Structure 1
């Protein structure tokens, strides 16, 4: 799959088959995530691979949009680390770019994934911090459940020329 095809056909997948995803494949997806651009090349991210069924099953208790974790064999938690910041506050953009790379890599490998937002919701941040014992300077940003898709949503053309401006508004 070429880059434009991946960009234009990626969809959020919330239903997964029971087939496992190998940790080697997950590491390959994280490698792609780590190739995201970051401010000053600070790369202020950490990635937690979650496979423990007990942990995955507890997240929907405090996150109302994480129900798909019941079917997902693995999830990646993208976190920002204030200790790695050269440019304060830019970690959010850096982690967003890494999360998008992770989603595109999963799609390119034939896997399904969805972006489950954590930051800036303090209730979700603190619940995850307690569940997986994150250090104080590490902020959970996004959770990405990954699996073999049990659904195939239609691609849609989201191009809207009325949102494009040339030189001036």
Structure 2
């Protein structure tokens, strides 16, 4: 699948087949994440790959929008690492770019995903930090459910020329 096809057909998938995601595919997703652009090339990301069934099942206890994890074979927690920042301002954009790369790479590889926000909600950040025993400098940013889709969604029509302004508002 080419990049444009992946962009136009990527959808939030919340139902997954029981099939596990192979380790080499997980590595490809993480590699794609690490090729995201980052301000000053700081690459402030860290990733937690979550495959343990009990851990996946516990997350909806504190993250109210993560119930699909009960059927997902895998999740990836994208985190910012404040210890490597030369500038404190752009790490959320960097982590968002890494998250988007995971979503698009997953689509290109035949996987389904859904992006769940964590940052800047303190209860979600604290829940992730506690669950994974994270050090203070690690900031949970986004949680991505990953698996082979058990549902299909059509391509939406989202292009809206009314939102485009040339040279001035």
**What CA distance in whole angstroms lies between the structure 2 residues aligned with 1:141 and 1:100?**
12
Residue 52 of structure 1 corresponds to which residue in structure 2? 52
Q: CA deviation at 1:89?
A: 2.1
**What CA distance in whole angstroms lies between the structure 2 residues aligned with 1:25 and 1:112?**
13
* Cα-to-partner distance string for 1:53-75 (whole Å, 9 max, x where unaligned): 11111100011100000000010
TM-score of the aligned structures, taking structure 2 as reference length: 0.99
**What CA distance in whole angstroms lies between the structure 2 residues aligned with 1:31 and 1:2?**
17
1:117-136 to structure 2, matched below 5 A, reads 117-136=117-136
Residue 156 of structure 1 corresponds to which residue in structure 2? 156
CA RMSD of aligned residues (A): 0.6
**What CA distance in whole angstroms lies between the structure 2 residues aligned with 1:65 and 1:132?**
19
1:88-167 to structure 2, matched below 5 A, reads 88-167=88-167
Listed as ranges, the gaps of 5+ residues in structure 2 are: none
Residue 62 of structure 2 corresponds to which residue in structure 1? 62
Q: CA deviation at 1:49?
A: 0.4
Q: CA deviation at 1:86?
A: 1.4
Q: CA deviation at 1:157?
A: 1.7
Q: CA deviation at 1:23?
A: 1.7
Residue 8 of structure 1 corresponds to which residue in structure 2? 8
Q: CA deviation at 1:129?
A: 0.3
* Cα-to-partner distance string for 1:53-106 (whole Å, 9 max, x where unaligned): 111111000111000000000100000000111121211000000000000000
**What CA distance in whole angstroms lies between the structure 2 residues aligned with 1:89 and 1:46?**
17
SS in structure 2 opposite 1:33? helix
Listed as ranges, the gaps of 5+ residues in structure 1 are: none
Aligned positions, number: 169
* Cα-to-partner distance string for 1:122-164 (whole Å, 9 max, x where unaligned): 0000011000001100000000010000000111121000000
**What CA distance in whole angstroms lies between the structure 2 residues aligned with 1:2 and 1:86?**
35
TM-score of the aligned structures, taking structure 1 as reference length: 0.99
Residue 18 of structure 1 corresponds to which residue in structure 2? 18
